Chains A and B, each alone.
Chain A
Amino acid sequence: EAGVTQFPSHSVIEKGQTVTLRCDPISGHDNLYWYRRVMGKEIKFLLHFVKESKQDESGMPNNRFLAERTGGTYSTLKVQPAELEDSGVYFCASSQETFPYEQYFGPGTRLTVT
Chain B
Amino acid sequence: LAKTTQPISMDSYEGQEVNITCSHNNIATNDYITWYQQFPSQGPRFIIQGYKTKVTNEVASLFIPADRKSSTLSLPRVSLSDTAVYYCLVGAALSGGYNKLIFGAGTRLAVHP
Contacts and interface: CB of A to CB of B under 8 A. Distances in A.
Question: Are A and B part of the same complex?
Answer: yes
Interface in A87-114: 91, 93, 95, 97-98, 100-108
Interface residues of B, number: 21
A60 B45 CA distance: 23
B104 A42 contact: yes
A64 interface: no
The size bracket of the interface on A is: 20 to 34
Contact of B98 (A35, A43, A50): A50
A30 to B, nearest CB: 9
Interface of A: 4, 31, 33, 35, 42-45, 48, 50, 55-56, 58-59, 91, 93, 95, 97-98, 100-108
12 contacts: A42-B103, A43-B44, A43-B103, A44-B103, A56-B100, A95-B99, A102-B49, A103-B101, A105-B43, A107-B42, A107-B43, A108-B43
Interface of B: 32, 34, 41-46, 49, 93-94, 96-105
Given A43-B44, A45-B101, A48-B100, 15 more contacts: A42-B105, A43-B103, A55-B96, A55-B98, A56-B94, A56-B98, A91-B43, A91-B44, A95-B98, A97-B97, A100-B97, A101-B93, A101-B99, A108-B41, A108-B42
